[in-house]
Amino acid sequence: MNPIFTSNRHMLDDIALCDKNVMLTYQMMLEEVDKRVAFLKLHHIHCLAIALDNCIEWILFDLAAQQLQITVVPIPTFFSDAQREHVLSQSACDYLLTTDAHFFAAITQLKFSQNSELVFYRIASSSLGARPKETQKVTFTSGSTGMPKGVCLSIENQWRVAQSLANVLDINKPRHLCLLPLSVLLENIAGVYAPLLAGGTVTVIGLETLGFTGSQLSQPEKLLQAVSDHQPDSLILVPELLMLLVRAAQSGWVVPQSLKFIAVGGAHVPEALLHCAHQLGLPVYQGYGLSECGSVVSLNTPGNDLLGSAGHILPHCTVVEEEGELVIQGNCQLGYQNDPASWYPEVIKTGDLGKVVNGTLTLLGRKKNVIISSFGRNIQPEWPEALLLSSGLIKQAVIIGDSRPFCCVLLVTYPGVTPEQVDQLLSKINLSLPDYAQLKQRLILAHDMTAEQGLYTLNNRPKRREIAHYYSEQIDALYHPSYLSSNPQTCVEELL
């Protein structure tokens, strides 16, 4: 049974969930979950895919499915058709829960209620969907190459992390505003389960209302307005959203005094950006985690904050170094869907390079991302990239240089940034880099590199191999002798 169904019985009149139209107390939430338990049981649903925008119904059906040990497969609404079909074909779901009328129009449908927009579409049977015993949630990691893999987690996997977070943060009755999709495991566990365990209130707003178009934040002023209107205690951000808040605060946006804790993760965050955020009144703390360990593994907190680190390792797991690679024990995934050889691992080899000192974890890059120049020098691309991204001028940065004599960088700038500003920034950053890691050439792209192109993961990490292939002609030109002689420093590539 979910811990919230036993831990908060003494505060049934407090608000648990709210959106722009509905407020549910803990008592009302339990009653609504019971209704959905009855519906799922009546229709003999064993595996439920959820493709909903952020809303209270997402949470209610997620909790109801846990009551029945029904497997839930979250599908982000910004998934491409190919990704959605891949998830459904791999998962052997009975039904898909959505409000999208374009899903499977010719297949059997169920309505939760006559007044509800929710539709359950019957999914054609599949020979796939093999999962370890006790799998309750299958979260598809975006991955760096190919189609995503389904990480199988038990109820215990999920709530163990949530309980660790609630204990470590120790914020009584927090008011949390969800800014990431609920289909993202981090928001699901740290943004819903953990606040509910602490007797808090979770506010959910549709992603379009927050200014998102697909996976891109196209109207940032809407997100800022939502934070101002709801005055939350806590938020969860990816680095790009943190940059948005920092830039907004520098431009006069008033940081809500209510904010007590802002977690940021998903990619390396430069120490300078965190320091700047703190100076602006943004209580930002970096963490680290991965789906294979139920999301969060380590986290800085107000009482234990070491800038530049990924925080103190949470009590439910241990992390050790093996030849520089971080290896995690405790709360390991049950395995990958349809891959029995991966089931029931005792440890998770993360592929991340790092060090652990006195229980605090510091990241040093990705093992597979190491660039080896033609001079045999090893270069970690994440760190120069982080310096570029923290400048406030650069939106995307990907360093190229594997088997090459020097490093180049592909850049996407924020609107209004000039090539001259980019050159000045590169000159400044190169002063802090050893000569073999300095960025000798740059290519400014006219458009973002996107997940839809297959160039970025859904959690905004570059797919380096795909990017190198996609821009191979332009990259080769950067190293061509005739180009170097005529363009000794930089170039601008307008890709229309």
* pLDDT tops 50 at residue 282: yes
pLDDT-wise least confident of 128-132, 193-197, 306-310, 364-368? 364-368
pLDDT-wise least confident of 35-49, 109-123, 149-163, 221-235? 109-123
CATH of 4-363, one of 1.10.8.100, 3.40.50.300, 3.90.1150.10, 3.40.50.12780: 3.40.50.12780
Please compute the mean of the pLDDT values over residues 28-39 and round it to a whole number: 96
What is the reported pLDDT for 230?
Answer: 97
Please compute the mean of the pLDDT values over residues 379-389 and round it to a whole number: 88
What is the reported pLDDT for 489?
Answer: 44
Q: How is residue 192 written in tokens?
A: 């819903």
Provide the Cα torsion 277, 283, 284, 287; round to 10°: 160
Residue 235, phi then psi, degrees to nearest 5: -140, 160
Please compute the mean of the pLDDT values over residues 162-183 and round it to a whole number: 95
Q: How many CB atoms lie within 10 A of CB 44?
A: 7
* pLDDT tops 80 at residue 415: yes
pLDDT-wise least confident of 144-158, 318-332, 386-400, 408-422? 144-158
- The span from the CA of 168 to the CA of 157, in Å, is 17
At which residue do the structure tokens 């520098």 appear? 250
Provide the Cα torsion 423, 424, 428, 434; round to 10°: 20
What is the reported pLDDT for 26?
Answer: 96
pLDDT for 201-212, tens place per residue?
999 999 999 998
* pLDDT tops 60 at residue 277: yes
At which residue do the structure tokens 């904050």 appear? 305
pLDDT for 52-97, tens place per residue?
999 999 999 999 999 999 999 999 877 777 778 888 888 999 999 9
What is the reported pLDDT for 461?
Answer: 85
Q: Provide the CATH number for the domain formed by 370-493 in this structure.
A: 3.30.300.30
pLDDT for 199-250, tens place per residue?
999 999 999 999 988 777 889 999 999 999 999 999 999 887 898 999 999 9
Q: How confident is the model at residue 20 (pLDDT cuts 50, 70, 90)?
A: confident
Q: Where are the domains of the chain?
A: 4-363, 370-493
Among 182, 180, 151, 199, residue whose Cα is nearest residue 62 = 182
* pLDDT tops 50 at residue 484: no
pLDDT for 288-314, tens place per residue?
999 999 999 999 999 899 998 999 999
Q: How confident is the model at residue 11 (pLDDT cuts 50, 70, 90)?
A: confident
* pLDDT tops 60 at residue 106: no
What is the reported pLDDT for 494?
Answer: 34
Q: How confident is the model at residue 170 (pLDDT cuts 50, 70, 90)?
A: very high
Instruction: Mention every residue, 6+ apart, whose C-beta is less than 8 A from residue 125.
Output: 92
Residue 157, phi-psi category: left (phi > 0), alpha (psi -120 to 50), beta (remainder): alpha
Which one is predicted more confidently, 214 or 474? 474
- The span from the CA of 202 to the CA of 108, in Å, is 33
